[in-house]
Structure 1
Amino acid sequence: MTHPARDLLRTTTAALAPDPGANPVVPRIAAGTAPRATLAALALEQTWVIPADRRAFEHLAVRAEATDPEAAAFFTTLAQGEALAGERLVAFARACGTEEASYEPLHGCQAYPAYVAWLALNAAPADVVLALTANFSAWGGYCATIAIALREHYDFTDEACAFFDFFAQPSPDLDRLAATAVEAALDAGRLDEQRAHTYGRLLQTYEEMFWTALSKTP
């Protein structure tokens, strides 16, 4: 029995997988050689990214509610997840000794949430489901690596690592919602695979920009 939606999600994720050498920061964190200043910058950048993405997902859910309820359910769950992640981010930022009031966010790091906001305003919700799901695979892998390294090399507590643990964990419910949304869009003929692939490619590029900008912090 074939599962076109799941097959499409899998092939798109594989096609958009990042170059293993494209991330200059996570391997250094994994080796314990990244300075704590880089960890602090990561925490502070995420204090901008997480609430921005949450509001973008909420907007996508509202846009999709009438015509694409399956996609709306996916984005609602994403927004709820971002809210939970934001709560866990506080402990990581505290462990890094951040000083949020005096921090100036990096344009290279904030290009990603800016583009997510663009998608929330302009893209067909089902296309965004496909693009985001492909991108989240790479982000989850990075978070899993960071969570281990923070404990092994930086002596961070479980509470301080909870932000990364959250994103590193598989989410069968979210995967199911994504597959349901993509399947409904395929059945209705409202999924533009080429455009979704373009969105996913740009998301991955902005993800790489995030880590590259972060690698240049003092």
Structure 2
Amino acid sequence: MTTSARAVLSQTQAELTPLPGANRLLPMVADGRAPVSAIAALAGEERHIIASDWRAFLTLAARAQEQSARQFFSFLAGGESLALDLLVPLAEASGADLDGYVPLAGCQAYPAYVASLALNAEPVDALLALFANFAAWGEYCAAIASSLRAQYGFDDQACAFFDFFAKPVPEPEQYALNAIQAALDQGWQPNEARRHGHMLLNYELMFWNTLADL
């Protein structure tokens, strides 16, 4: 029986669900223990991550031969351009100096790995690894936006960056399913993609926990 793209995606997302408490920054923000400087650092880190991921996604779109994969990565690149604008009010609310901020290695490991995938991974492997990790990122963004409003008095404009990533949109999922199914029909197996996915999950948790340790 032919494996479906939905089954592959669901199984991979289940494998890449982080353990409760793995992100140590979220509870600190939830009860107001995290200093505002940690949020400022998050904004500074994201300034560098967005620029790197934007280029990586465009590179993957250029390398992809399958149409839905190209659409997936192009959609992600477009999202990064929007996110960059939304980062400005977050920086203002937290007092971040986006131009002068010096990034931390523990936070920049994630985009460095994404950049490596852009050059070295098969596009469909990168696609599955990235998309399977989006659920955790979106949940983290929703949680931190709620906490920033409740504990730090951030308004909607200051939280818009997190709201943007917390809101699910249908297009990337459909592009991902189409690309995965096309690859499966050609005999592709997701083993390498899942390996990349586990690396991305670990690097994302490193991002949050590096900030928690500040």
Give TM class, smaller chain. Answer: over 0.9
Contact 1:60 1:72 in 2 (8 A): yes
Which residue is 2:4 aligned to? 4
User: What letter corresponds to residue 126 of structure 1 in structure 2?
Assistant: V
Matched, 1:172 2:135: no
Q: Could you tell me how far 1:192 is from its partner in structure 2? A: 3.3
Q: Could you tell me how far 1:3 is from its partner in structure 2? A: 7.5
Which residue is 1:47 aligned to? 47
User: What letter corresponds to residue 10 of structure 2 in structure 1?
Assistant: R
**How many angstroms apart in 2 are the aligned matches of 1:171 and 1:31?**
29
Q: How does 1:99-118 map to 2 (within 5 A)?
A: 99-118=97-116
Q: How does 1:172-211 map to 2 (within 5 A)?
A: 172-189=170-187, 191-211=188-208
Q: Could you tell me how far 1:99 is from its partner in structure 2? A: 2.0
What whole-Å deviation, never above 9, does each CA across 1:6-63 have from its counterpart, x for those lacking one? 1111110011111112111012112222110111111110011011101100010001
**How many angstroms apart in 2 are the aligned matches of 1:85 and 1:146?**
16
What whole-Å deviation, never above 9, does each CA across 1:89-108 have from its counterpart, x for those lacking one? 11101111112344221000
What whole-Å deviation, never above 9, does each CA across 1:94-153 have from its counterpart, x for those lacking one? 111112344221000000000000000000001111100111111000000011111111
Contact 2:43 2:98 in 1 (8 A): no
TM-score (norm 1): 0.94
Which residue is 2:20 aligned to? 20
User: What letter corresponds to residue 206 of structure 2 in structure 1?
Assistant: M
**How many angstroms apart in 1 are the aligned matches of 2:189 and 2:74?**
22
CA RMSD of aligned residues (A): 1.3
**How many angstroms apart in 2 are the aligned matches of 1:12 and 1:36?**
35
SS at match of 1:100: coil
**How many angstroms apart in 1 are the aligned matches of 2:99 and 2:177?**
41
Contact 1:127 1:192 in 2 (8 A): no
Aligned residue pairs: how many?
Answer: 213
Which residue is 1:61 aligned to? 61
Matched, 1:130 2:128: yes
Percent identity of equivalent pairs:
52
Unaligned runs of 5+ residues in structure 1 are: none
Structure 1: 4+ residue segments shifted above 3 A:
none
Which residue is 1:34 aligned to? 34
Q: Could you tell me how far 1:78 is from its partner in structure 2? A: 0.5
SS at match of 1:105: coil
Contact 2:107 2:206 in 1 (8 A): yes
**How many angstroms apart in 1 are the aligned matches of 2:184 and 2:23?**
33
**How many angstroms apart in 2 are the aligned matches of 1:172 and 1:31?**
33
